[in-house]
Structure 1
Amino acid sequence: MNLASIRVITADVARLVAFYERVTGVEARWSTEDFAELVTASATVAVASTRTVPLFAPGAARPADNHTVIIEFLVEDVDHLYRDLAAFLEDVVQAPTTMPWGNRSLLFRDPDGNLVNFFTPVTPAATARLAR
């Protein structure tokens, strides 16, 4: 089994897609005005309109209401990205910090309030754990 994607439901697809394009450097692939995907080497971040929710189960997902999931991106140099994005990011939760498990992490919120973590393994154990 492989994780294929994370889908974020939003009331403003264009705004959220533009945000993720800017922070990731990945150009979105649009299917409709209600659905776009940012495809990376290992997984996809899908962004979908609230209008898509009834296709699955009415009321099953609510935009800007996530308090449990962190969308994580493995990046080459988290400190470099932070310097590039600092003026753009409106809600930095934690500047780059080395975590006890060996990752250097930048935690911020997207425009809908979802937590995003950019991280770089900085210890030999973290590097080995994340080797693919």
Structure 2
Amino acid sequence: MEIDYIALFVSDVGRSLIFYRDALGFRFEKPAKPDSAEGYSGNLKIGLYDRSWLPKLFGDRGKQIISGNPFLLSMTVDDLDLVYQELCDRQTRHNVDIIAPPQVMPWGQRILFLRDPDGNLLEIVQVVN
């Protein structure tokens, strides 16, 4: 079993599309709809859905208030310094909220933390060879 799809429920599909496409470089080949967009990060398919989809998908359970951000989306890159500089250059135009510059974590990985426009936590990890 492997994960092949991630769905993010967001407050503004257009804003999130711009962030994930223009700031992070995800591929969105099909035109977005007002309430959804689907694209790719590498081979992993990602969907951006308006939060109004929750009750459609999950019935009454989808009406629960969304609170907190209980997940972390992790991406890997070869050159974290280059990606950090690119994100800094895009910071204002694409709502890039960098939490901390690249740092070496106690377990040895070098990581950059940021948030998407809905406050979801993202990390970018430098590949260690």
TM category (shorter chain) comes to: 0.7 to 0.9
Q: In structure 2, what is the equivalent of residue 5 of structure 1?
A: 5
Q: Does the Cα contact within 8 Å between 1:35 and 1:49 map onto a contact in 2?
A: yes
- 1:61 Cα deviation from its structure 2 partner: 7.0
Alignment RMSD = 2.3
- The alignment status of 1:16 with 2:16, answered yes or no, reads yes
Q: Does the Cα contact within 8 Å between 2:56 and 2:62 map onto a contact in 1?
A: no
Question: Taking structure 2 as the reference length, what is the TM-score of the superposition?
Answer: 0.80
Which letter does structure 1 place at the counterpart of 2:4? Answer: A
- 1:37 Cα deviation from its structure 2 partner: 1.8
Q: In structure 1, what is the equivalent of residue 58 of structure 2?
A: 57
- 1:91 Cα deviation from its structure 2 partner: 2.1
- 1:31 Cα deviation from its structure 2 partner: 5.7
What residue ranges of structure 2 are gaps of 5+ in the alignment? Answer: none
Q: In structure 2, what is the equivalent of residue 111 of structure 1?
A: 117
Query: 2:43, 2:80 → 1: CA distance?
Result: 18
State how many pairs are aligned.
Answer: 123
Q: Aligned match of 1:79 in 78, 81, 89?
A: 81
What residue ranges of structure 1 are gaps of 5+ in the alignment? Answer: 128-132
Identity of aligned residues (%): 27
Question: Taking structure 1 as the reference length, what is the TM-score of the superposition?
Answer: 0.78
Q: In structure 1, what is the equivalent of residue 103 of structure 2?
A: 97
Query: 1:94, 1:48 → 2: CA distance?
Result: 27
- 1:64 Cα deviation from its structure 2 partner: 7.0
Classify 1:101/1:38 alpha carbon distance in 2 versus 1 (closer, same or farther; 3 Å): farther
Classify 1:103/1:64 alpha carbon distance in 2 versus 1 (closer, same or farther; 3 Å): farther
Query: 1:83, 1:64 → 2: CA distance?
Result: 33
- 1:62 Cα deviation from its structure 2 partner: 6.9
